[in-house]
């Protein structure tokens, strides 16, 4: 009995041990299965990453890349996608100003470069702007991806292939192209290697363009080429260092053309000189001389209830403290207001400014926008230089364009706001009204003052210093400006800014044309003169003549236009001079 009980207990113990062993084996099997399942899952995820995700994000042949290279390639792809979708820029007539095209860029897998020295020499022969030392350094870096040259010409691709180096390959990319080249660079701007805007409209509307929304500008490329041609011709003839020019619609403020010379190739801004990149049109602030007499004269008539025949004693220079104000070509007599303007008398203009008063003259200039940065779609704009504090002597000198420095764009905008009937305009470069609007309902001068200024501008061309701006049939009006530049704190009479602002047709003003030439030199056929009347006025006349042909503006028949735009003043001046 005892034996049977012992046998049964041993059997139960054995069965329990077998059951425990079986459970242990099963647990180990589950653990091993889970481990292999996890390993399989990891490999599956990695395979999917390599085969799908990275194949889409980084289409490169190299398999061994470090983290830095992966980040570089991902960033490059993102920028390339942005560049690909960047919208075009057009002029007002639909002419292409900027677009994005597919290109090829050269890179190297340095693990596969068999002869770095030889390859570097051959690459520099193909791309002369590259440095042999820098190329050699890249080819010996040990990296699987090194950019050699971006956005290369198809002809260069063939030359690279002829090297026969397996470590050199190409990647598709996108580049910004500017069909008008240098001509529009200071307005349209340019971008970096990945087509992101660095200046001009490209910079101001960088995100807008990246979203794929195209822009149409107010520029007319036909007028742009005309303006650039004539400005360049004047700079070359008078051996000047630089120049700027603007054509504006005086009724809307639309910039139809804008040039700053010297300029540069927007496809290669990295090799441009500082003076080429500098936009004189919006960044250059200058004392522009007698063209400012338009503003002081307008302020005088706006604030004083006087007839056009009012006179000013210009027989002697004005002395204020240590300052003496003289006329460039002194008449040494009493002058009427039209004569002050026609002969460009500094003395007469200073007396006008004195009559207006410091506070009112400064407020008038501010209302015209001459004392603040210009509100413009291009972000590269300068702040005018204004006397601080503004004393009485500053009022006198500011009346004839000394002591206040502004940009050419400021000047043309201010003149447009007066001659269009007296309504303020803002310079405008984007044609799409949903992006930028121009207000023309703010009056800065009365219709009567605007009319008087138009008469005076016409008189300057028919009888005064701007006679070389006359274009038969188009009744051009305008004003000359010749200002000495400040060098080392003193005015240098050998270095001048010579300019002319022309407006036409004066019986119904539509266009303003301004040309400014920096440091012109007198020539034999100008009897050594390099003033605005000799340098800039003829260039403005040529621009107007070409504009009329391009835009199809017919000349006014003789005797068809009203005679009060300058003709009655001419009769008044002639009668007065004949009675002396």
| Given 105, 290, 296, 399, the catalytic residue | 290
SS3 of 394-444: HHHHHCCCCCCEECHHHHHHHHHHHHCCCECCCCECECCCCCCCCCCCCEC
How many CB atoms sit inside 10 A of residue 432's CB? Answer: 13
Among residues 141, 190, 148, which one has the least CA distance to residue 171? 148
Q: Are 513 and 540 in contact (CB under 8 A)?
A: yes
**H/E element holding 245?**
strand 242-249
Looking at the chain, the number of H-run helices and the number of E-run strands are 21, 16
Among residues 375, 128, 138, which one has the least CA distance to residue 271? 128
Distance CA 193, CA 200 (A): 16
* Residue 290 bears catalytic tag: yes
Residue 547, helix vs strand vs coil: helix
Q: Is the dihedral of CA 50, 52, 56, 57 positive or negative?
A: negative
Q: Is the preceding omega at residue 163 within 30 degrees of 0, hence cis?
A: no
**H/E element holding 515?**
strand 511-518
Print burial letters for 511-532: b (CB count within 10 Å at least 16), e (below 16).
Answer: bbbbbbbbbbbbeeebeeebbb
SS3 of 352-377: HHHHHCHHHHHHHHHHCCCCCCCCCC
Phi, psi of 362 (to 5 degrees): -65, -40
Distance CA 521, CA 529 (A): 8
Q: Are 544 and 472 in contact (CB under 8 A)?
A: no
Distance CA 430, CA 428 (A): 6
Q: Are 474 and 556 in contact (CB under 8 A)?
A: yes
How far separated are the first and last CA of the chain, in Å rounded? 164
Among residues 199, 175, 176, 179, which one has the least CA distance to residue 96? 179
How many CB atoms sit inside 10 A of residue 305's CB? Answer: 5
Q: Which residues are catalytic?
A: 290
């Amino acid at each position: 009995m005892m034996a049977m009980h012992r046998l049964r207990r041993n059997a139960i113990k054995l069965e329990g041990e077998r059951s425990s062993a079986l459970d242990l084996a099963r647990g180990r099997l589950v653990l091993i299965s889970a481990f292999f399942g996890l390993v399989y899952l990891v490999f599956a995820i990695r395979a999917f990453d390599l085969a799908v995700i990275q194949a889409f994000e980084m289409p490169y042949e190299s398999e061994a890349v470090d983290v830095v290279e992966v980040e570089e390639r991902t960033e490059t792809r993102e920028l390339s996608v942005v560049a690909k979708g960047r919208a075009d820029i057009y002029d007002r007539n639909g002419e292409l100003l900027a677009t994005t095209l597919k290109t090829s860029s050269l890179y190297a897998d340095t693990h596969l470069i068999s002869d770095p020295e030889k390859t570097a020499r051959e690459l520099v022969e193909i791309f002369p702007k590259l440095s042999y030392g820098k190329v050699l350094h890249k080819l010996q870096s040990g990296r699987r991806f090194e950019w050699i040259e971006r956005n290369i010409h198809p002809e260069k691709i063939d030359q690279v292939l002829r090297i026969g180096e397996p470590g050199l390959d190409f990647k598709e990319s996108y580049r910004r192209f500017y069909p008008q080249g240098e001509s529009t660079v200071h307005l349209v701007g340019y971008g970096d290697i990945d087509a992101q805007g660095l200046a001009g409209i490209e910079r101001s509307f960088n995100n807008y363009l990246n979203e794929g929304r195209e822009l149409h500008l107010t520029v007319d490329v036909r007028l742009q080429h005309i303006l650039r041609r004539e400005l360049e011709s004047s700079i070359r003839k008078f051996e000047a260092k630089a120049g700027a020019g603007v054509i504006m619609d005086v009724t809307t403020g639309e910039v139809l053309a804008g040039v700053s010379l010297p300029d540069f190739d927007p496809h290669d801004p990295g090799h441009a000189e500082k003076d080429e990149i500098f936009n004189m049109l919006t960044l250059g602030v200058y004392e522009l001389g007698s063209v400012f007499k338009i503003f002081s004269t307008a302020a005088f008539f706006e604030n004083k209830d006087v007839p056009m025949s009012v006179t000013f004693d210009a027989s002697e220079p004005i002395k204020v403290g240590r300052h003496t104000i003289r006329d460039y070509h002194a008449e040494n007599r009493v002058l009427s207001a039209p004569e002050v303007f026609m002969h460009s008398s500094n003395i007469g203009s200073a007396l006008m400014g004195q009559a207006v008063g410091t506070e009112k003259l400064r407020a008038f200039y501010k209302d015209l926008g001459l004392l603040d940065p210009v509100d413009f779609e291009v972000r590269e704009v300068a702040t005018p230089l204004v006397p601080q504090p503004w004393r009485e002597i500053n009022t006198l000198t500011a009346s004839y364009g000394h002591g206040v420095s502004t940009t050419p764009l400021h000047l043309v905008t201010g003149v447009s706001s007066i001659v269009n009937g007296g309504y303020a305009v803002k310079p405008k470069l984007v044609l799409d009204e949903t992006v930028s609007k121009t207000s023309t309902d703010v009056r800065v001068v009365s219709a009567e003052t605007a009319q008087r200024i138009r008469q005076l501008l016409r008189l300057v061309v028919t009888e005064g210093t701007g006679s070389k701006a006359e274009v038969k049939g188009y009744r051009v009006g305008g004003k000359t400006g010749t200002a000495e530049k400040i060098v080392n704190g003193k005015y240098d009479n050998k270095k001048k800014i010579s300019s002319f602002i022309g407006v036409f047709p004066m019986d119904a003003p539509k266009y303003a044309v301004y040309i400014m030439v920096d440091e012109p030199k007198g020539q034999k056929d100008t009897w050594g003169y390099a003033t605005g009347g000799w340098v800039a006025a003829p260039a403005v006349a040529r621009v107007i003549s070409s504009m009329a042909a391009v835009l199809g503006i017919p000349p006014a028949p003789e005797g068809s236009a009203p005679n009060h735009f300058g003709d009655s003043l001419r009769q008044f001046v002639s009668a007065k001079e004949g009675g002396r």
